[in-house]
Amino acid sequence: MFFWEEINNKIADLKEEQELLESIGEKDKDYQKSIFHWEQEVANVLAELREKEILLTFSGKYDRGDAALAIRSGAGGTDAQDFAEMLLRMYLKYLEQKGFEAKIIDKSLGKEAGIKSAELQIKGKYAYGYLKGEHGIHRLVRLSPFNVAKTRETSFVSVEVVPLIPDNKLEVSEKDLKIDTFRAGGPGGQHVNTTSSAVRVTHIPTNITVVCQNERSQMQNKQLAMQILKAKVFRRLEEERQKNLSDLRGERKEAAFGHQIRSYVLHPYTMVKDHRSGFSISDVNKVLNGNLDELIKKYLEWNAGSR
């Protein structure tokens, strides 16, 4: 049975139950309990409808598929590296809540704190659809915990999201690749492999590089690195094609990458604001703990309406 038929049946049942409750009235000893149960069922139906509303915005070719997400610290030194780790934690919590399978394939630690970068492979229906709006520059404003004066600092982190495309969508010539192997290892020399299982693949024409070191074998690392590399090269080619079309048409559009999309402000007030949809939330901790649904939904609605 289709979703909408199920929803219509649930709504019809709720209407019948409402009429029955109204006819019984408060004289029934279980009236309050029955009203509470009815209200809970209404809330569940509304939640299902809101979830489907999001799915209606997924009209992109790869929205239904898997994704890769990369986090890289930018301007802001140690604060930016700490912010990058905050975002990594935020996304992992969000992905867990959504039931997606997330795998960290590479992570580079910061010198004093945080991370320089991290690369994730994400599997699940509509993974790219949900995450595509996270692509861009994220900004943090707060009192720095890393200097004695505790001054207000601004730091930046870039988030890159690409759809994982089928292998036959893009052929990459071996002569355009530089492949390096090295020993995988964790912080402080922990979990260091005795064999060179980690793989770094560079696409020479675009200078796009992907590192994978969390799989057990060199072959597995290479296969995963190649999958994500192809996805990133494919996106770069698509962006260049769209830019050329825009130039021919005389259009002026924002760059898809390198543009500040969201601010996380912890001082002198607290707020997370998406600069595209204009939507903001005052509870920053809620967002940093992975509760991204409202921000993502508002972005998707804005994006659908701006086409």
Domain assignment present for 60 = no
pLDDT at residue 195, rounded to an integer: 60
> Same domain for 76 and 218?
no
Nearest to 83 by CA among 108, 107, 113: 113
160 and 174 fall within a common domain: no
Q: Which two tokens stand for residue 176?
A: 């355009």
Least confident of 13-27, 106-120, 222-236: 13-27
Which sign does the torsion angle of CA 182, 213, 87, 54 carry? Answer: positive
CATH number for the domain spanning 238: value is: 3.30.160.20
Backbone angles phi, psi at 50, to 5 degrees: -65, -40
Share above pLDDT 90 across residues of the chain, in percent, rounded to a whole number = 55
Per residue in 211-253, pLDDT (tens digit) is: 998 888 899 999 999 999 999 999 998 888 877 655 544 443 3
Per the domain annotation, does 294 fall within a domain? yes
Are 161 and 183 in a shared domain? no
Residue 291 included in any domain: yes
pLDDT in tens, 48-77: 777 777 777 887 889 999 999 999 999 999
**pLDDT for the residue numbered 201:** 94
Alpha helices in the chain (DSSP H): 3-24, 31-55, 77-98, 127-131, 218-249, 284-288, 293-305
Number of domains in the chain: 3
pLDDT band at 28 (very low <50, low <70, confident <90, very high): low
Confidence category of residue 266, pLDDT binned at 50, 70, 90? very high
Q: Are residues 184 and 156 in the same domain?
A: no
Work out the mean pLDDT of the chain and round it to a whole number.
Answer: 85
Question: Are both 140 and 126 inside the same structural domain?
Answer: yes
Q: Is 110 in the same domain as 80?
A: yes
Given a cut of 90, whether residue 44 has pLDDT beyond it is no
CB-CB contact of 247 with 253 (8 Å): no
Judgement on whether residues 31 and 110 belong to the same structural domain of the protein: no
Owning domain of residue 102: 67-166+254-305
Written as one letter, the residue type at 272 is V
Residues 132 and 258 in one domain: yes
- Establish if 62 belongs to a structural domain: no
User: pLDDT above 70 covers what percent of the chain?
Assistant: 88
Same domain (yes/no): 278, 205: no
Using the 3D structure, point to which of 211, 226, 249 is the last residue of a domain.
Answer: 249
Q: Could you tell me the pTM of the whole model?
A: 0.79
Give the confidence band of 144 by pLDDT, cuts at 50, 70, 90: very high
35/19 Cα distance (integer angstroms)? 12
Mean pLDDT score, 181-189: 63
Query: Same domain, yes or no, for 72 and 85?
Result: yes
